[in-house]
Amino acid sequence: MRAGAGVPLADLQRVLGADGLFYPPVPTYDGAFVGGTIATNAAGPATFKYGSARRWVEALTIVLADGSILELHRGDITASPDGWLDLPLASGTPVRIPVPAYVMPDVAKLSAGYFARPGMDLIDLFIGSEGTLGFITDATLRVVPLPRRLVALITVASDARAVRLTAALRNKAESYPGATAALDVSAVEYMDSRSLALVPDEVFQRANVPRPLPDAGFLLAQIEVDGSGGESLEQLDEALTACAVDRDPDVALPGDDRGAARLFALREGVPSSVNARIAAVKARLQQDVEKTAGDMIVPFDRLEESLSLYRSTFERHGLEYAIWGHVSDGNMHPNVVPGSMDDVSRGRVALLEIARGIMAMGGAPLAEHGVGRSALKQQMLRDLYGDRGIEDMRAVKRALDPNWKFASGVLFPP
């Protein structure tokens, strides 16, 4: 599918859906655009099965800083053995881009500065570069047949139970495009008890879901199915029994779009309730109060440890908080729920501590939302790759955009 950079993902999916097709790596925020999601290497809840945007981009049209237009297909230009990407320009002046020397963490998704790997494809440098290297005008994307899926909302008593059940579901799943799986899980998301406590009663009522006991959280699993979903439900039941989850899940069967929308609306109720709390504090008390949240990812086998780290760090700093996110990828969003500017300041300190702990686990503090101009996230990027890594990125920027025309101040200071 060839799409303009300014096409909203919701429109893209609607057009594809009419032909029974689907673009998999869509974030939960479907107001984002094709160009923006490629520029941030965005990823959706279904990263577990489908990976992030990078895997789905076949070609890009990019306007470079000198005004030339680059039509770049995957496989056209790869790095030389001595670490250079050579880009011949129509103007006749070739550009030599040095491949950064840092090693990217081995995690399911990453939106942390420039992609770098020996022998890398030039197209991967632009994907995730947050608009700093060129302006994407259109993209050729790979698409798949629109999957049929069932959605299950499962009550879990604790973090440990959530992690255990997610591990069981992952084990039953196939890794795309692998062999037939017992259970074709594409996404599992987790909302902890603190997140659910922030969601108003009317959101639960609209979703027609009873509020769980105070210590319980929810897992929201998306499972792709061939037929009616009967076999998948049996497999799901087996996993629930093995993990001692005794409450029946709330299930939207394939084709029950309203049922699925009801469960997704409950999930969206979590970030929007936190945002509403922040807006209320801003309006009542302090204008400067802002969202203070992490976008952390760890290898799945360190997930339970990472959840303990989020909790113990926030609690040590005396902060109110909530945790939710894409648990099947080890990618969680630990959020401060700030009541004052002081909470925001202490929250930033806590998030930097958390980020360092996550890196020590082989993870990364910048999984899917990108870095942008946030001083906090730019510090995390520096902690991840060191001063040398940032200098390697600047060398890439200087090669492609010597006058710093594009997205100045994004990723690192000009």
Ligand X SMILES: Cc1cc2nc3c(=O)[nH]c(=O)nc-3n(C[C@H](O)[C@H](O)[C@H](O)COP(=O)(O)OP(=O)(O)OC[C@H]3O[C@@H](n4cnc5c(N)ncnc54)[C@H](O)[C@@H]3O)c2cc1C
Residues that bind ligand X (CB under 6 A): 5, 27-29, 32-33, 35-37, 39-40, 42-44, 130-131, 135-136, 271, 368-370, 372, 407, 410
- Residue whose Cβ sits closest to ligand X: 36
Residue 217 tokens, joined:
């959280």
Q: Which is nearer to ligand X, 3 or 233 (CB)?
A: 3
**Residue 393 Cβ vs ligand X, minimum distance, rounded to whole Å:** 14
**Residue 71 Cβ vs ligand X, minimum distance, rounded to whole Å:** 15
Q: Which is nearer to ligand X, 236 or 337 (CB)?
A: 337
Contact between 97 and 115 (Cβ < 8 Å): no
**Residue 85 Cβ vs ligand X, minimum distance, rounded to whole Å:** 18
Q: Which is nearer to ligand X, 168 or 188 (CB)?
A: 188
Contacts of 367 (CB under 8 A, 6+ apart): 43, 107, 109, 110, 111, 295, 296, 297, 329, 331
Q: Which is nearer to ligand X, 32 or 146 (CB)?
A: 32
Which amino acid is residue 17, in one-letter code? Answer: G
Distances (CA, A) of 85 to 61, 82, 98, 212: 18, 9, 6, 54
Which amino acid is residue 42, in one-letter code? Answer: A
Q: Which is nearer to ligand X, 128 or 147 (CB)?
A: 128
Q: How far apart are CA 138 and CA 164, in angstroms?
A: 42
Place of tokens 């009522």: 205
**Residue 327 Cβ vs ligand X, minimum distance, rounded to whole Å:** 13
Q: Could you count the other beta carbons within 10 Å of the beta carbon of residue 68?
A: 15
**Residue 218 Cβ vs ligand X, minimum distance, rounded to whole Å:** 17
Q: Which is nearer to ligand X, 78 or 272 (CB)?
A: 272
**Residue 108 Cβ vs ligand X, minimum distance, rounded to whole Å:** 12
Q: How far apart are CA 216 and CA 213, in angstroms?
A: 5
**Residue 400 Cβ vs ligand X, minimum distance, rounded to whole Å:** 12
**Residue 43 Cβ vs ligand X, minimum distance, rounded to whole Å:** 5
Residue 294 tokens, joined:
């992490």
Q: Which is nearer to ligand X, 5 or 209 (CB)?
A: 5
Q: Which is nearer to ligand X, 131 or 229 (CB)?
A: 131
Q: At 184, which helix (H) or strand (E)?
A: strand 184-191
Contact between 12 and 23 (Cβ < 8 Å): yes
Q: How far apart are CA 403 and CA 337, in angstroms?
A: 40
CA 245 to chain centre: 27
Residue 318 tokens, joined:
């005396």
Q: How far apart are CA 399 and CA 98, in angstroms?
A: 8
